[in-house]
Amino acid sequence: MRRRLIVTYVSLLAAVLVGLNVPLAITVFGRDARAMFIDRLNDTARFASLAEPALRTGRTAALATEMREYDEMFGIAAAVVGRDGQLVLASRLNFDVFDLALRSHIDAALSGERAGLRGSLWPWSDDPMIVAEPVGRGGEIIGAALTISPTGALHAVTWRSWGLLALLSGLVLAAGTVAAAPLASWMLRPVRRLDQAAHALTAGRFGDRVAVGPGPPELRRLADSFNTMADRIATLIERQRSFVSYASHQLRTPLATLRLWVENLGSFVTAAGRDDYRMVAEEIERMARMCDALLVYARAEATADDVENVDAAAVADARVAIWSQAADQAGIALARTGAANAPVRAAAQALDQALDALLSNAVKFAGRGAAVTVTVEEAVPGWVDIHVVDTGPGLPEADLARATQPFWRRPADQNVDGSGLGVTIADALVTASGGRLDLMPARPHGVHARIRLPQPRPARGRTPVAPAAGAARSAAR
């Protein structure tokens, strides 16, 4: 953005300079051309006044001598033509009065028209300046006097003037360019701070704020507003986490007491009430597990500052080894494929818990005879993908879109053991690590869960932004 601002400033300054200098250059050229024309007009008018008596009396020797001396001194050709347009006197030999460029001026003078600045005298043109004046008095025209001036000197003056204008404009443009850099930095300094604070807020670092310093007043007000917004968001999120954590802690004690009382009553339950007793005990146990899951979920959303380097391949190997026995008992073939080494950036234990949640769901819902494959690969430069793919019955896409919602469970699985928070926790952990969790339908059937985490960034680099997934973010429970 700094470069674009500088280019914009310099472009506007260049446009202003062009808008000012082009008319000025034309004005300077017109002034010099008019000064030269007036000088030549005076000389031509003098020759015309001298030619009038010379033509009437036929005594032209003195005029011819003066015209030759004038030509030798100034390099300007001079001539006098008669009433019939024929050459009478000339300062040079082989003077062609029938040249088309001269003829129009001579005819105009013989018709009584006074000389005017005509023709193209721009610096890139070699045309001479031709001035013709009628000779005569009392309305009687008996001839015409003319001068033909080379325009090299005029062009040299014009080029020098234009060169000076270009030099001054270049200096102004250079000074403007030098001044644009600190000006752009001054204007963008609050924007950079705001960008850094926004990235920190996105990454879950709710304590970072924009340092309000020098800059345009509008951007300082924006920084103040952003800090106020960040304070309110941080307060709301902290209250939410505190509430979830506090409520879970508070519920664990009465649930533990209730479970103890129910266990103490076990010996007094008759055969007719055994089923009800078992259902009550299982429900209390399920509520206790739900409280534990809520505590994990509250902690999962607060792990953004604990990102570290983790070997995703080693974590995948360890989790597959842990879940192999449970998979065998469920009649599921669990396999690990892909890279043997894949460093990523992730919060502490985030990848372990996320894989546990996904593998738990796969083992629980894929069904006997299904296969579950864990693959680690670098599919996108700068990112590592960890795939958990099962060949079970899968979920409809409408259910996949709702799967990361807390406590969501498919109606058909309401009686299956679980809290409904497993994949929600996994999603929170992966997001807090700067990655993303996506669930897509597997082909030909099943669920394809993909965890995408950033690779360790260079020393002075930045964590790449996770590319958008084509499928809806989802998860199975």
Rounded Cα–Cα distance for residues 286 and 297 (Å): 16
Whether residue 97 is found in the same domain as residue 242: no
Cβ–Cβ < 8 Å for 473, 437 = yes
Whether residue 350 is found in the same domain as residue 452: yes
268: exposed, middle or buried (Cβ count in 10 Å: 0-12, 13-18, 19+): exposed
Query: What is the token pair recorded at 449?
Result: 């869960």
Q: What is the pLDDT of residue 213?
A: 67
Q: CA 211, 212, 216: angle at the middle one, nearest 5?
A: 135
Q: Could you tell me the pLDDT band of residue 221, with boundaries at 50, 70 and 90?
A: confident
Whether residue 442 is found in the same domain as residue 309: yes
Task: For residue 51, report the phi and psi dihedrals to the nearest 5 degrees.
Answer: -75, -25
pLDDT digits (tens, 9 = 90+) for 87-135: 888 888 888 777 777 888 888 888 888 777 666 678 787 788 889 899 9
**How many domains is the chain built from?**
3
pLDDT at residue 476 is higher than 50: no
CATH of the domain at 42: 3.30.450.20
Cβ–Cβ < 8 Å for 318, 352 = yes
Residue position matching structure tokens 């498919």: 410
Q: What is the pLDDT of residue 297?
A: 61
Domain, as residue range, for 127: 2-155
Beta strands at 383-390 and 447-454: parallel, antiparallel or unpaired: antiparallel
Whether residue 9 is found in the same domain as residue 144: yes
Q: Which residues, 6 or more positions from 265, have their beta carbon under 8 angstroms from its beta carbon? A: 277
Whether residue 319 is found in the same domain as residue 257: no
Rounded Cα–Cα distance for residues 301 and 72 (Å): 98
Closest C-alpha to 288, from 264, 267, 263: 263
Q: 22-31, 154-163, 286-295: which has the minimum mean pLDDT? A: 286-295
Whether residue 375 is found in the same domain as residue 433: yes
Rounded Cα–Cα distance for residues 283 and 289 (Å): 10
Confirm whether 326 is domain-assigned.
yes
CATH of the domain at 225: 1.10.287.130
Last residue of one domain, picked from the residues 94, 129, 155: 155
Confirm whether 423 is domain-assigned.
yes
Last residue of one domain, picked from the residues 268, 302, 336: 302
Q: What share of the chain is helix, strand, coil (3-state, %, to 5)?
A: 55, 15, 30
Which residue would you say has higher pLDDT here, 308 or 171?
171
CATH of the domain at 423: 3.30.565.10
Cβ–Cβ < 8 Å for 477, 413 = yes
pLDDT digits (tens, 9 = 90+) for 380-417: 889 999 999 999 888 877 777 777 666 666 655 544 55
Rounded Cα–Cα distance for residues 474 and 117 (Å): 84
Whether residue 450 is found in the same domain as residue 473: yes
Its pTM stands at: 0.46
Rounded Cα–Cα distance for residues 372 and 379 (Å): 20
Whether residue 260 is found in the same domain as residue 298: yes
Q: Could you tell me the pLDDT band of residue 299, with boundaries at 50, 70 and 90?
A: low
Rounded Cα–Cα distance for residues 294 and 287 (Å): 10
Cβ–Cβ < 8 Å for 334, 354 = no
Rounded Cα–Cα distance for residues 455 and 466 (Å): 11
pLDDT at residue 465 is higher than 70: no
Alpha-helical runs (H) found in 94-146: 100-110
Rounded Cα–Cα distance for residues 436 and 454 (Å): 10
Closest C-alpha to 387, from 443, 448, 346: 448
Whether residue 237 is found in the same domain as residue 292: yes
Confirm whether 174 is domain-assigned.
no
Handedness of CA 400, 402, 407, 412 (dihedral sign): negative
Confirm whether 180 is domain-assigned.
no
Confirm whether 169 is domain-assigned.
no
Whether residue 348 is found in the same domain as residue 296: no
Handedness of CA 13, 19, 20, 25 (dihedral sign): positive
212-247: b (≥16 Cβ within 10 Å) or e = beebeeebeebbeebbeebeeebeeeeeebeebbee
Confirm whether 181 is domain-assigned.
no
Last residue of one domain, picked from the residues 302, 322, 340: 302
Rounded Cα–Cα distance for residues 26 and 95 (Å): 33
Whether residue 311 is found in the same domain as residue 232: no
Q: What percent of the chain has pLDDT over 70?
A: 83
Residue 455 DSSP SS3: coil
Whether residue 235 is found in the same domain as residue 316: no
